[in-house]
Chain A
């Protein structure tokens, strides 16, 4: 499927094509290639066909199904859909079917989008390659010997392989932007509180944010406009003041102050640094002012993140205890059953982070670890706020490298964690960021450049992203 979501929706709405044929095209593409790429954990063939019939019937009856009419959509499998198995890439949720649907999916379906299925991820969104999925990794369509990135790797592959024009992921420390960069896609992490988390299975509640993958900046704006907005079911959802993302696409960057940030470049491969510099030149040519800027505090993000996120995760994942749903390994008493279930149900990386987080919150260690990490988080947020006094947006790399090979980093968790170095600071600050494809590396693998903006100024990302998209190397 090579058409954009906006083209599909306008064709379906005008009657130029049907939702049914669009869905069939999508399902055929999955059937043809997904045994190899493994983007999907579950394809809702019947549900998708039925939804397409509903959309087409609405068109025939003269009703408008909405701005995403007939657009096939892939969902990361940590998003709840009523009656559809949700695994989070883990054995521990074995057989669990949520009795309710996530707010974002309600909104997308109300706008005419058609969920096709649930995509692969690192278990509970913990990882950067999908290699931590209990159901095996997904493969990068640009080179199947390479990882697609993670944790939202399946959703990235679903778009990059042309199954669907848009998909949803979740981004806790880079889990949308990193796979977007690895797969040559646009990946957007909205301001914390812009997208309801109701129905997103929590990894780290204060960092998690749902966002889209798309082939174009315009499609990312289109779908984001639908999913953003206040939700009374999420107490951290923001009430008003949502920027106009579609309107930002044609605004250009004349007069915009772009901070080229050394701390979002140092440590990246030369070929990536070169593309970020080329991107800066594109913006300069379009009228932006390029300002070199250093924000050394950003370097502290990784260590703060790997205390805060596991701390929250250790608590969020406590409920997988075998009592009410999912896997249960029977034992004679409840405590032994809890331990046996969790031992069998969780993978190594999830266990590692639960241990880290439990330790960081323990009496006697709280101040030194969790408390210190919270202070660091404030320090980084303040540093970014200071930087935004002199620049409008920041520009840097999304990832230090292009997509790596399977098994390259599995044995060394630290090297895997370092692939999130440039993406983590925005999650800590609750700010928005976007990764836009910009050129390829020596091996032909895609490169992403990252744009960061102050909280609630998400429109600036689309303003800059649209210009970079037009100026990217062919």
Chain B
């Protein structure tokens, strides 16, 4: 980076998972037959009028409160511009008086990112451009699906507080976890229910902000990080070659791994914002806001703290595991398993690495019992993982019975001892080096014993036997 630092601010559009759209009663449903969830209001027919969805406001307030925002009297504005998938040729959004403003988001590592605002607006329809460039200019034809038109969105705008692609990624991951935790969205980036635009600039530390470029529609955490890292380097290269950065909108090409200019004439927009005369001001009462606040579920930060309090270590690997468990919403399972006797560290590790949050989870009892068996040496790590995988098909199965069905009877100490003797005999050189103090060879012998027992040996027992013979 040649001594430059990257300055990043993010705009995240989040679709709210209300039953109906923001200003009409049409179903808010992803993936239905195109243009089936439409009515005069959401296709902008003459004479139709918007009526605000109270549930969407409640979700938006939940988001504001979870991000420590001021929630206040606000109103809607019209953002005027022509685009075929926006049926009224204006978008109902919020402008100078957003519902939520001046908040913060704390990353898992403790960094605090400022939240400028989190305002409500309606989504547009979805265009598909056929032929040509795949974008509207030069396409042979375009299809529009208005099912998405009028879907409620909250746009969360951060301060330019992030300094790396990885940090931006951590911000979006944490934001997503918060939004999912408060029940406002399903957070599915690949389906477009969360869409990220990144404002990126570079500067030498201490200098004023440089000219920024906006990268549009980043639809995965990986793309977000890669796009920011590419864009920052592009800007540094440009500056180092004596060029100036032009403020513009750029798109991310996932295949090519680069950002490209999207500039075209119609982007020189003057949105001519003015107050939406068809809606009355949005004035949530203090009582309602407090009611929503008191019903907020535990947020990821608090849930991570709850898990961290259970484990004995707080090294960065454990912190990552705990973050994964909470991110995948496995923390309740882990906490219940620990309450019924599972060792916390092991339960966290196995939940983070072995359980599929989107799929079938083992019952609390089965998960807890598996962890306990592993801790007691009745199952090797490999065997415990296999049992957890098998529990997907039979979530309530008894892990003991599963283990025996999988052929995981533990070897007796005698037969283990015999096997170890054989292995030592067959690898005499290595054994003498091990005895001579080359600890790295423990791994070698464990591997050999495991191979000889087809994985049935308990790793801890093998180490104990090796130690005993070494001394």
Interface residues of A (CB under 8 A from B): 78-80, 86, 88, 93, 96, 98-100, 102, 197-202, 204-206, 232-236, 311-312, 314-315, 318-319, 321, 323-325, 333-335, 338, 358, 361-363, 366, 370
Contacts and interface: CB of A to CB of B under 8 A. Distances in A.
Nearest to A232: B51
Contacts of A232: 51
B82 interface: yes
A470 to B, nearest CB: 38
A325 B137 contact: no
Contacts of A338: 82
B84 A334 contact: yes
Interface stretch (B254-262, B269-277, B342-350): B269-277
Given A93-B46, A324-B43, A324-B87, A235 B274 contact: no
Contacts of A100: 40, 45, 47-48
A201 B270 contact: no
A362 B49 contact: no
B272 A321 contact: no
A235 B272 contact: no
A312 B89 CA distance: 13
Contacts of B82: 318, 321, 335, 338
Given A80-B47, A198-B47, A232-B51, A315 B278 contact: no
B88 A318 contact: yes
Contact of A361 (B51, B136, B272): B272
Given A338-B82, A362-B270, A234 B49 contact: yes
B4 interface: no
Given A235-B280, A362-B270, A323 B47 contact: no
Contacts of B280: 235-236
A235 B270 contact: no
Interface string B274-301: 1001111000000000000000000000
Nearest to B137: A333
A315 B84 contact: no
A326 to B, nearest CB: 9
Contacts of B46: 80, 86, 88, 93, 96, 98, 201-202, 319
B270 A318 contact: no
Given A96-B46, A199-B48, 12 more contacts: A98-B47, A100-B40, A198-B48, A200-B47, A201-B46, A206-B277, A235-B49, A235-B278, A315-B78, A324-B43, A361-B272, A362-B270
B21 to A, nearest CB: 14
Contacts of B279: 235-236
Given A315-B80, A362-B270, A233 B51 contact: yes
Contacts of B142: 334
A86 B46 CA distance: 10
A interface secondary structure, majority? loop
A318 B89 contact: yes
B52 interface: yes
Given A318-B90, A319-B89, A312 B84 contact: no
B210 interface: no
B47 A102 contact: yes
Interface in B134-157: 136-137, 142, 144
A281 to B, nearest CB: 41
A74 to B, nearest CB: 18
B278 A205 contact: yes
B84 A323 contact: yes
B108 interface: no
Nearest to B144: A323
B266 interface: yes
A99 B44 CA distance: 12
Contacts, number: 103
Contacts of A333: 136-137
A99 B45 contact: yes
A206 B278 CA distance: 7
11 contacts: A80-B47, A98-B47, A198-B47, A201-B47, A235-B50, A235-B279, A314-B80, A315-B80, A319-B88, A324-B87, A361-B274
B55 to A, nearest CB: 15
A314 B44 CA distance: 15
A233 B142 CA distance: 32
A99 B38 CA distance: 12
A96 B48 CA distance: 14
Contacts of A102: 47
Given A319-B44, A333-B137, A236 B278 contact: yes
A43 B276 CA distance: 35
Contacts of A204: 277
Contacts of A236: 277-280
Nearest to B278: A205
**Shortest 6 CB-CB distances between A and B: which pairs?**
A318-B89, A206-B277, A361-B272, A205-B277, A201-B46, A80-B47
A315 B78 CA distance: 8
Contacts of A321: 82, 84, 89
Contacts of A318: 80, 82, 88-90
Given A98-B45, A315-B78, A333-B137, A358 B277 contact: no
Contacts of A324: 43-44, 87
A334 B89 CA distance: 13
B87 A319 contact: yes
B76 to A, nearest CB: 10
Of the listed residues B89, B270, B273, B277, the one surrounded by the most CB atoms of chain A closer than 10 A to its CB is B277
B79 to A, nearest CB: 10
Contacts of B144: 323
A370 B270 CA distance: 15
A306 B374 CA distance: 80
A361 B45 contact: no
A370 B274 contact: yes
Nearest to A200: B47
A315 B45 contact: no
A335 B136 CA distance: 10
Interface string B6-47: 000000000000000000000000000000000010011111
A16 to B, nearest CB: 37
B149 to A, nearest CB: 11
A88 B50 CA distance: 21
Contact of A198 (B49, B80, B90, B137): B49
A333 B274 CA distance: 29
Nearest to A320: B46
Contacts of B40: 98-100
Given A99-B45, A318-B90, A325-B45, A335 B270 contact: no
B353 to A, nearest CB: 50
A100 B142 CA distance: 27
Contacts of B137: 333
Interface string B60-100: 00000000000000000010101010011110000000000
B461 to A, nearest CB: 72
Nearest to B138: A333
Contacts of A323: 84, 87, 144
B228 to A, nearest CB: 30
A238 B460 CA distance: 76
B47 A199 contact: yes
A102 B48 CA distance: 9
B279 to A, nearest CB: 5
Given A205-B277, A205-B278, A206-B277, A363 B47 contact: no
B272 A362 contact: yes
A334 B136 contact: yes
Contact of B90 (A79, A206, A315): A315
A168 B43 CA distance: 26
Of residues B49, B50, B137, B278, which shows the largest number of chain A Cβ atoms within 10 Å of its Cβ? B49
A315 B51 contact: no
Contacts of B44: 319, 324
A315 B93 CA distance: 14
A438 B109 CA distance: 80
B282 to A, nearest CB: 11
Contacts of B272: 314-315, 358, 361-363, 366
Nearest to A199: B47
B131 to A, nearest CB: 13
